[in-house]
């Protein structure tokens, strides 16, 4: 009600849901945080906030311009709708004619800039972090260029070969979605080959941890070197990635290197997200790394206790990466912040970075200097082809790994030089763009043309030539030699070919021993250490002879190792473990039938066997405290529900006649309620006993279908939540009456005993 509150703080979702009530008020001030959420005037939120009446409006955003001119108009239209009513008129106001005379065009451009200055000055107040707080340490970004491993290079080549017609521009249809898919697959190859099915090293059907997770990806080699140095020097790290599957691989790496970490992504619930952030920010926290997906970790997160940010891959929208960096570089930070952006050299990632940097400089030109250019909303087909083609010939011409053996200091030094060169290039382009002003990007804009490289306009030259300039040559196909039909000679030749490349014997690996599988780790590690020592000795001797052992183990030890591996629940997946914990909290730890039904892939016997070991060795689990708390809370709810059901059953049974008509509820002062009648309360109690406690939606449907209440509009209009609250009030009355009756009975029994004792005395 008006006058009952001073400030209303709400989420976007609540605003949309409760718009019919909120728009009845005439607000004094209307403040929207993260105002770029209304940059699209056709979005649901943008339409809803325009319904509200207010005296003054304020938009708060770190990214007032992300893509184009129309987005800025949408923000101005919300602030002053009378003045900025038409987007077409707004565009027309800043349109520069295609005048042939250069002097005339420059005059029109200068006039447009002047109009823009006058337009933005009354509405835009810009505050930088450096202006708000002078104590904030600086932030330094370094682009770290990495190479491709042999496995990555082979994947990259195969992906190019698969869509060679589209890459060479030979297909008639301009399928932009297909090109975007090619870029996504190439980005996955740059990130890690294990993102593709069948590339991971497996042992007996299970993933095997080892150095291969580092050696098979250029970015992982650099990350491994960098994290080791940061860990030794006491730094704390945030790692961002676009892909949650990369976060899965990074989790495996963290466990392999014994780095303590936290993780959140788009699937993380709000409760767990807050727990992770608090755990990382806690004083004297031992957490070294925080893994985040770029978009999930973009808003509302303060991780200023970290001083290093690693962008494992980059976003199409550079503002997402800027917000990711600002999770650490914000008020409260006391140390210098270093940002390391990983880019795979001579691949699509280089062109994506250039496009993102170009977009950031556009923002700087618009907001800081008053120029307004209409950037492309999304990459065109030609831009996507240019991104794919960049570096394709270099990758295709070689099969060797391009991972450098440089130490981390040399890599970072080279990255700093490359970063400076890239920013110098776009600073010069920005200055040129101010001299050659173009709003639509079609003439002299400099910032818009992806095909201008090293002074040459590849797009223009291609148009003049009348055909596609780029052509990726896969090489001529060779005629296969005829196979000699002499079978003996054929197999002899095949054996000779195979013997030319002897396979190096690999050291025995450990299976992935996840804590939730409850491996007998101690003995397995002892046997593995024995195998490792034997392998190293054989490697030094250069011997491959068998000495009656298998990898240094006796036959008895081999059998023991197999038996130990069988003791573990190696077939239990992480998803099944999570489902088991959730079902324990929901149904109780001993309700094996319900738990097995929830997991689906496990039988009741499997669940019983797992539960026996789980509760015996539960303290070995990495997050046992959180799991235990969740299960305890769930079982407490189950006990409470059972107690409620007993109270309801007792009340119904003790009623001598029909409880639907004769159940007596002894109200306390203030508990009767002004609206609910005795008949309604009796119905709620009896129907809750029949349906089960907590089924408020079903209770509401029963009321709507009840003949007795067909004209009772008050009861029929109650929401399920309101019905639940009323039932809780009635349950407290029943519990109080039950407790009072038990107390009276006890006192009465005690009083009779005292009378009997008095009679016995002489």
Give the DSSP letter string of 396-434.
HT--S-------HHHHHHHHHHHHHHHHHHHHHHHHHHH
Structure tokens at 555: 């036959």
Phi, psi of 143 (to 5 degrees): -90, 120
**368, pLDDT greater than 50:** no
Do 96 and 297 form a contact (C-beta atoms < 8 A)? no
Per-residue pLDDT, 666? 81
Specify the pairing of strand 53-60 against strand 26-33. parallel
- What are the CA-CA distances from residue 285 to residues 234, 236, 261, 430 (Å)? 12, 10, 10, 44
Between 3 and 569, residue with greater pLDDT: 569
Question: At what angle are helices 381-389 and 348-369 packed, to 10 degrees?
Answer: 130
Nearest CA to 339 out of 381, 382, 307, 383 is that of 307
For residue 242, what pLDDT is reported? 86
682, 722 in Cβ contact below 8 A?
no
User: Strand 53-60 and strand 337-344: pairing?
Assistant: unpaired
Burial 336-359 (b: 16+ CB within 10 A, else e): ebbbbbbbbbbbbbbbbbbbbbbb
- How far apart are alpha carbons 113 and 441 in whole angstroms? 15
pLDDT (tens digit per residue) in 544-590: 544 445 567 777 777 777 787 777 888 888 888 888 998 898 888 88
Kindly state the average pLDDT of the residues 212-223.
Answer: 89
Residue 238 has phi, psi (to 5 degrees) of -110, 130
> Topology of 574-635 in CATH?
Arc Repressor Mutant, subunit A (1.10.10)
pLDDT band of residue 526 (cuts 50, 70, 90) is confident
Q: How confident is the model at residue 299 (pLDDT cuts 50, 70, 90)?
A: low
Supply the pLDDT for residue 29. Answer: 92
Phi–psi pair at 375, nearest 5 degrees: -70, 155
Query: Other CB atoms closer than 10 Å to residue 408's CB: what's the count?
Result: 16
Terminal-residue alpha carbon distance, the chain: 74
The tally of CA atoms less than 13 A away on the side-chain side of residue 468 is 15
Residue 170 has pLDDT above 60, yes or no: no
pLDDT above 90 (res 476): no
Name the range with the highest mean pLDDT among 92-96, 194-198, 435-439.
194-198
User: Residue 240 forms beta bridges with which residues?
Assistant: 292, 311
Spatial separation of the C-alpha atoms in residues 499 and 348, rounded to whole Å: 39
Q: What is the reported pLDDT for 310?
A: 92
- Residue pLDDT, tens place only, 329-341: 776 677 888 889 8
Determine what percent of the chain is predicted with pLDDT higher than 70: 67
Give the Cα separation of 663 and 652 in Å (integer): 7
pLDDT above 80 for 46: yes
Yes or no: domain 131-465 corresponds to CATH 3.40.50.300: yes
CATH topology of domain 655-760: Arc Repressor Mutant, subunit A (1.10.10)
Residue 405 confidence (pLDDT): 54
The structure tokens listed for 313 are: 């891959």
Residue 85 makes CB contacts below 8 A (sequence gap 6+) with: 77
Q: Per the structure block, which two tokens stand in for 156?
A: 């990259």
Q: What does the pLDDT read at residue 425?
A: 64
Q: Are 327 and 321 in contact (CB under 8 A)?
A: no
The Cα–Cα gap between 423 and 421 comes to: 6
Confidence band (pLDDT; 50, 70, 90) for 644? confident
Q: Which of 173-182, 458-467, 604-613, 675-684 has the lowest mean pLDDT?
A: 458-467
Most confident of 121-125, 159-163, 620-624, 666-670: 620-624
d(CA 105, CA 96) in angstroms, rounded, equals 7
User: What's the pLDDT score for residue 483?
Assistant: 46
pTM recorded for the entire structure? 0.49
Q: Name the percent of the chain in helix, strand, coil, to the closest 5.
A: 55, 10, 35
Highest mean pLDDT among 13-27, 97-111, 129-143, 643-657: 13-27
Q: Are residues 699 and 684 in contact, defined by beta-carbon separation less than 8 angstroms? A: yes
Instruction: Give the integer Cα–Cα distance in Å for 755 and 742.
Output: 20
pLDDT band at 352 (very low <50, low <70, confident <90, very high): confident
Average pLDDT over residues 319-324: 76
What pLDDT, on the 0 to 100 scale, is given for residue 524?
78
| Residue showing tokens 């406690």 | 693
Residue 171 has pLDDT above 90, yes or no: no
Longest CA pairwise span in the chain (Å): 132
Higher pLDDT, 531 or 291: 291
Structure tokens at 245: 């599957």
Long-range contacts of 166-174, Cβ-Cβ distance < 8 Å, separation of 24 or more: 167/385, 167/388, 167/389, 167/392, 167/470, 167/472, 168/468, 168/470, 168/471, 168/472, 169/385, 169/468, 169/470, 170/468, 174/381
Q: Is the predicted pLDDT of residue 95 greater than 70, yes or no?
A: no
For residue 550, the SS3 value is strand
pLDDT classification of 413: cutoffs 50, 70, 90: confident
Quick one: what percent of the chain has pLDDT higher than 90? 5
Mean pLDDT of the chain: 74
Residue 389's pLDDT is: 53
Rounded distance between C-alpha atoms, residue 445 and residue 439, angstroms: 8
Answer for the pair 438, 166: CB distance below 8 angstroms, yes or no: no
Q: What is the mean pLDDT of residues 634-650?
A: 86
Q: Give me 622's structure tokens.
A: 């990495």
Mean predicted confidence (pLDDT) in 357-379: 52
Closest CA to 390 of 221, 160, 176: 160
**Confidence category of residue 227, pLDDT binned at 50, 70, 90:** very high
Using 50, 70 and 90 to split pLDDT, how confident is the model at 9? very high
Token pair of 383 as six digits: 């831009």
Predicted confidence band of residue 447 (pLDDT cuts 50, 70, 90)? very low
* Segment 178-205 mean pLDDT: 80
The per-residue pLDDT for range 726-739, each reduced to its tens digit, is: 888 888 888 888 77
pLDDT on residue 704: 86
Strand order in the sheet with 261-264: 139-146, 337-344, 308-311, 237-241, 289-293, 261-264
Contacts by 545-551 with C-beta closer than 8 Å and gap 24+? 551/508
Is residue 297 pLDDT above 80, yes or no?
A: no
Per-residue 3-state assignment (H helix, E strand, C coil) for 617-673? CHHHCCCHHHHHHHHHHHHHHHHHHHHHHHHHHHHHHHCCCCHHHHCCCCCCCCCCC
Over residues 686-693, the mean pLDDT reads 88
The pLDDT of residue 433 is 47
How far is it, in rounded angstroms, from Cα 415 to Cα 142?
A: 6
Give the pair of three-digit tokens for residue 6. Answer: 């001073």
Tokens at 155, concatenated: 């994947």
Contact 208, 512 (CB under 8 A): yes
Query: Is the per-residue pLDDT at 591 higher than 50?
Result: yes
Task: Kindly tell me the burial class for residue 475, based on how many C-beta atoms sit within 10 Å of its own C-beta (0-12, 13-18, 19 or more).
Answer: exposed
Of 66-70, 173-177, 204-208, 589-593, where does the model show the most confidence?
589-593
């Amino acid at each position: 009600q008006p006058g009952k509150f001073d400030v209303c703080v709400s989420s976007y979702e609540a605003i949309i849901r409760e718009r019919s009530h909120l728009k009845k008020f005439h607000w004094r001030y209307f403040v929207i945080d993260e105002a770029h959420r209304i940059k699209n005037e056709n979005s649901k939120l943008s339409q809803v906030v325009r319904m509200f009446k207010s005296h003054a409006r304020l938009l708060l955003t770190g990214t007032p311009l992300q893509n184009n001119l129309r987005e800025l108009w949408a923000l101005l239209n919300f602030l002053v709708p009378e003045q900025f009513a038409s987007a077409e008129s707004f565009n027309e106001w800043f349109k520069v004619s295609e005048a042939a005379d250069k002097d005339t065009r420059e005059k029109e451009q200068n006039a447009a800039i002047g109009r823009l200055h006058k337009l933005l000055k009354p509405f835009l107040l810009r505050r930088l972090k450096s202006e708000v707080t002078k104590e904030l340490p600086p932030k330094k970004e370094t682009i770290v260029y990495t190479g491709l491993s042999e496995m990555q290079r082979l994947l990259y080549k195969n992906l190019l070969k698969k869509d060679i017609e589209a890459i060479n521009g030979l297909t008639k249809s301009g399928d932009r979605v297909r090109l975007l898919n090619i870029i996504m697959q190439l980005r996955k190859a740059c990130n890690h080959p294990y993102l593709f099915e069948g590339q991971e090293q497996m042992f007996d059907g299970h993933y095997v941890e080892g150095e291969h997770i580092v050696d098979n990806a250029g970015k992982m080699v650099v990350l491994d070197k960098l994290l080791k140095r940061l860990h030794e020097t006491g730094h704390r790290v945030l790692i961002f990635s676009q892909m949650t599957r990369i976060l899965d691989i990074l989790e495996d790496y963290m466990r392999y290197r014994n780095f303590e970490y936290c993780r959140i992504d788009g699937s993380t619930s709000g409760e767990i997200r807050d727990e992770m952030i608090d755990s990382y920010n806690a004083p004297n926290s031992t957490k070294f790394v925080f893994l985040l997906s770029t978009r999930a970790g973009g808003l509302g997160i303060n991780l200023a206790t970290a001083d290093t940010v690693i962008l494992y891959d980059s976003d199409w929208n550079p503002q997402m990466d800027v917000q990711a960096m600002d999770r650490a570089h914000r008020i409260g930070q006391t140390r210098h912040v270093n940002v390391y952006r990983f880019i795979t050299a001579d691949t699509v990632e280089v062109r994506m970075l250039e496009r993102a940097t170009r977009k950031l400089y556009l923002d700087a030109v618009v907001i800081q200097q008053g120029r307004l250019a209409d950037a492309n909303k999304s990459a065109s087909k030609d831009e996507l082809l240019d991104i794919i083609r960049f570096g394709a010939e270099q990758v295709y011409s070689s099969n060797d790994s391009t991972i450098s053996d440089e130490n981390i200091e040399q890599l970072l030094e080279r990255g700093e030089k490359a970063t400076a060169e890239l920013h110098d290039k776009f600073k010069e382009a920005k200055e040129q763009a101010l001299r050659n002003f173009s709003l639509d990007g079609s003439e002299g804009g400099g910032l818009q043309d992806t095909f201008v490289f090293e002074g040459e306009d590849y797009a223009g030259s291609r148009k003049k030539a009348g055909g596609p300039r780029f052509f990726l040559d896969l090489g001529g196909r060779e005629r296969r030699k005829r196979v000699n039909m002499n079978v003996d000679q054929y197999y002899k030749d095949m054996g000779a070919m195979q013997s030319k490349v002897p396979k190096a014997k690999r050291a025995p690996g450990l299976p992935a021993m996840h804590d939730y599988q409850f491996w007998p780790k101690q003995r397995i590690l002892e046997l593995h250490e024995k195998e490792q020592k034997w392998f190293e000795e054989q490697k030094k001797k250069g011997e491959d002879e068998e000495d009656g052992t298998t990898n240094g183990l006796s036959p008895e030890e081999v059998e023991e190792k197999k038996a130990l591996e069988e003791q573990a629940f190696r077939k239990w997946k992480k998803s099944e473990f999570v489902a088991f914990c959730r079902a324990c909290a929901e149904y109780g730890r001993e309700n094996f039938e319900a738990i097995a039904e929830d997991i689906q892939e496990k039988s009741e016997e499997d669940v019983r066997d797992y539960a026996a070991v789980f509760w015996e060795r539960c303290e070995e689990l990495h997050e046992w405290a959180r799991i235990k708390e969740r299960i305890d809370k769930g079982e407490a709810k189950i006990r409470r529900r059972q107690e409620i059901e007993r109270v309801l059953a007792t009340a119904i049974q003790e009623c001598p006649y029909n409880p639907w008509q004769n159940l007596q509820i002894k109200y306390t002062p203030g508990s009767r309620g002004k609206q609910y009648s005795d008949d309604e309360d009796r119905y709620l109690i009896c129907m809750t006993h029949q349906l089960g406690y907590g089924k408020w939606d079903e209770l509401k449907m029963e009321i709507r279908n009840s003949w007795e209440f067909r004209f009772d509009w008050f009861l029929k209009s109650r929401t399920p939540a309101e019905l639940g609250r009323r039932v809780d009030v009635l349950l407290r009355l029943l519990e109080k009456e039950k407790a009072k009756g038990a107390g009276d009975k006890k006192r009465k029994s005690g009083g009779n005993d005292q009378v009997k004792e008095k009679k016995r005395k002489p």
